[in-house]
A and B are shown apart, each in its own frame.
Chain A
Amino acid sequence: MSSQKSWPLKPWIILIGFLLAWYLLPTLVKSWVQIGLYELQAPVWTASTKINDLQKYWILKNHSKVELIEAIRDLARLNSSYELTICENASLKNEIARLENHLNLTKTPEYQCVLARVIRRDLSSWSHQIIIQKGYQEGIIRGAAVIYNKGVAGRIKETFPHTSIVELVSSPTFRVTAKFMNDDRPITYKGIANPPFSSPIGESYNIPTDIEASKDNPLQLVSSRLGGTFPDGLAIGTLTEVLPGTDGIFNRGKVSIDPNLHSVQEVAILLPLNLSFAHDDQKP
C-alpha cells in the first residue's frame, strides 16, 4: 500500500503496458490462448451433463414396473409410427430422384445427420448460443446447419476437438435466407434481442407487399437452400405481424419462434455429403 501511495501513477503505467502488449500480441497467440482456455473448461461442462444424467437415472430407477411397462407400450406405438414414416420417406426420396432424372433437374443436396447433446446454454442479451458435445473429431464443420425436433435450431459457429458452439436462430447476430411455405420468393430472417419471460422472437425483412399475416392468420417461415446452409422447408418460426419497411418497397415482420428452442436437449447437425453444395464456411 505504501508503494501505491508513493507512486500513484504505477497502476496506470502497468495498464498502458498491458494494453500495448495485448494490442501487439499476434492473433495466432491469442487464438492459441482462446482454444487452450476453452478446452480447459469443456470437460467441466461435460462432467456436469454426466452428473445430470446420473440424477435422471436415479429418478427413473424409483419408477415402478407398471410405469415402465406403460412407457415401453407407448414407445412401441411410437416406433411403429416412425417405421411407417421411414417407409413413406424412402418412397418420397425415390419419387424425387425419379423426377430429377426425368426432368433433368439439379440434384438437391444430401445431408448426413449427426446427433449431439447440448451441454451448455448461454442466452445473454448480446448472443444466444449453445455448446454441443460433438466437435471436429466427429466430423462437425463450421457453418453446418443445426436442427431440432421443431425445425431450425441454428448454425455451427466454432468447432473444437469434441465440442462445438452453435449460434441459435434467436441470436441477434444470426441472419439467414428464408421463404414462406408455398412461396418461393426469398426473404431475410434475422434474430433479435429477446425480452425476458417470453418466447424467442426474430424479425424478417424484404417481405413482398402482397404478403399478409396476423396472430390469427400466421404464416409459416421456412428455410431456403439459397443461403447455402440449410435445406429447403425446415421450420424457422411463424410470421405473426407485418409492418411497413423503411424503404417503402418491402415490408418487415415479427417472427415467433418455438419456445422449446431455449430448452432444447438434443440437436442434429446436417453435414453436406457432397461438399460442392457446401457454403464456403462449411468447407473444411
Chain B
Amino acid sequence: MESRPSEHYADVMVLVPKGRLDASAAPELEDAFNALEAHDVKRVVVDLSQSKYISSSCLRVLIVSARRLRERGGDVKLCCMPDAVAKVFEIAGLGAFFDIMATEEGAAQAFGMPQNDAGPSSAPGCH
C-alpha cells in the first residue's frame, strides 16, 4: 500500500489504499499502519480517493489505529472520500469521530503542523 510524506506539512504521512476495502484488505491496511508506527509516525492522513468501498473490518483498523495514535499525541485524518465510502461512515456513526476533509492538504493541515518550506503550491491531489 502506498505511503508517502505529505507534500505540504512536516511530520505527516499519507496512506493511499486502493480498491475494495473489504475484510480481505484489512490485514494490509493494518500492516501499513504498523509499519508507519514502527517508524514513530504519529500523524497519518488516509486518502480514500482510490477506495470504492469500505467494510467494518477496515473501519475497525482505522478506529483502532486512530485510538492508538491519539494516545501518543497523534491521529488519523481522512480525505477525498467517494460518496459510497462516505455513506458507510455516516451509517456507522463515525463522521463525528474522524476529521474528514475534502482534500489531502486540508487533512494534513488539520494536524496544525508547520508547513514545509515550499508550502502548498499546486492544488493538492485527490487523485
A, B in one complex: no
